[in-house]
Structure 1
Amino acid sequence: MSDLPPSNYPDIGTLGEDLVAQWLESCGWTILHRRWRSRWGEIDIIAEYTQTLAFIEVKTRSTGSWDSGGRDAIKPSKQEKISRTAQMYLAKFPEKADFNCRFDVAIAEAQKVPSPKILSPKISSPKLLKSSHTNEKSHSLAFLSTPSHYLTLQEYIPGAFDSLIDNG
């Protein structure tokens, strides 16, 4: 995965996906695809770890968003689109068809960083920092800092809607 300068990020959704992808890699996962598309829809991240494939939906919201931090946006219709897209992925990559598959959801929160009043802004690459407080619900799993945003990975839900997957 390449590190793009912050000016190349189109929105906080991309930053949230970057945070989740970097966190997964730091946990030993291999990122296979980002924003994988089929005619049914898009999967934000497809990752692999020891014969397990995770199809990951990332929801990034600003602090105090109207939809429970993105949880309300993962309706059954969205789950069905992701499930169909995952089936298309497995059809395109049959060597992965025997892997254990699951649907994960990552919830990230973004805060805009106030602009400091300086004449020449310092540009730096996004930085991922893992939190040491992963077992406390009030703390984030990881965070990402850019000159314009501060993102936290609030929750990672493995197998969030696995009842829709058909492994056979």
Structure 2
Amino acid sequence: MTNLPPSHYPNIGSLGEDLVAQWLQSTGWVIIHRRFCCRWGEIDIIAEHAGGGEEIRRWGDGEIGETTPTNLPPHYPTLPMAHAHSILTFVEVKTRSLGSWDAGGRSAITPQKQAKISRTAGIFLAQYPEKADYSCRFDVAIVYYQESKKMTGVTAQEALATSSAAGYQFRLQEYIPAAFDCLIDNDNG
């Protein structure tokens, strides 16, 4: 049997990211960047979920309060907060075969990897300052794959989403919102 060139094999990681991006879009997220790269690293998916365009009221001590309760008198000043409830998520996608050595990719997200993602997110926000007032979080998506002809193990009903491509079946098995917290330093630019 001859070995085929690397270009013959599908990019499994990209196909897993495609599934996650499609699932995010189906749940109301807007994909604003894929495979954002800088000198610090790469972020697989950057997605945005817009807030409800709500207003908040300024309370007596000058602090910004919670979303406007309906029982407040109309003389309280309102402040439009277009991005007050918008979320920007930096998604790390781990695509692995069933039974992988690193717990489906979870153990590959070391503190060092988290720091790289955080630095890269800081670079992104420096390049797109209009996104700087969004709430940010770091999510992790776990995708399993196997050859379509060897379909066994986890059933499609247990997966959040499934797809087939290049002779493989992909399953988004787990999506972990706010999987880790990092401080984003906007002075990296």
Is the structural similarity TM-score above 0.5? yes
Change (3 A) 1:31 1:113: same
CA distance in 1: counterparts of 2:111 and 2:18, whole angstroms: 25
Q: How does 1:106-125 map to 2 (within 5 A)?
A: 106-114=141-149
Change (3 A) 1:144 1:8: farther
Shift of 1:167: 7.7
CA distance in 1: counterparts of 2:32 and 2:9, whole angstroms: 20
Moved more, 76-85 or 146-155: 146-155
Residue deviations 1:117-165 (CA, integer Å, cap 9, x gap): xxxxxxxxxxxxxx7x5xxxxx110101124100000100000012x13
Unaligned runs of 5+ in 1: 1-6, 116-130, 134-138
User: 2:160 touches 2:172 (CA, 8 Å); kept in 1?
Assistant: yes
Change (3 A) 1:37 1:8: farther
- RCO greater where, 1 or 2, for CA within 8 Å and sep 6 or more? 1
Give the corresponding residue for 1:19.
19
Q: Aligned partner of 1:63: which letter?
A: L
Q: Aligned partner of 2:88: which letter?
A: L
Q: TM-score, normalised by structure 2?
A: 0.70
Q: Aligned partner of 2:172: which letter?
A: L
- Among 74, 81, 93, the alignment partner of 1:58 is 93
Moved more, 60-69 or 8-17: 8-17
CA distance in 2: counterparts of 1:9 and 1:95, whole angstroms: 39
Residue deviations 1:13-66 (CA, integer Å, cap 9, x gap): 011000000000000100011100011000000000011100000000011111
CA distance in 2: counterparts of 1:144 and 1:8, whole angstroms: 20
CA distance in 2: counterparts of 1:31 and 1:97, whole angstroms: 17
Give the corresponding residue for 1:82.
117
Q: Aligned partner of 1:161: which letter?
A: F
Change (3 A) 1:8 1:93: farther
Q: TM-score, normalised by structure 1?
A: 0.78
CA distance in 1: counterparts of 2:48 and 2:10, whole angstroms: 26
Q: Which runs of 4+ in 1 moved over 2 A?
A: 7-10, 165-168
User: 2:146 touches 2:168 (CA, 8 Å); kept in 1?
Assistant: yes
Number of aligned pairs?
Answer: 140
- Kindly report the root-mean-square deviation, in angstroms, between the aligned alpha carbons of the 2 structures: 2.0
SS at match of 1:64: coil
- Among 142, 145, 148, the alignment partner of 2:167 is 148
Q: How does 1:93-112 map to 2 (within 5 A)?
A: 93-112=128-147
CA distance in 1: counterparts of 2:8 and 2:87, whole angstroms: 32
Unaligned runs of 5+ in 2: 1-6, 51-85, 151-155
Give the corresponding residue for 2:177.
158
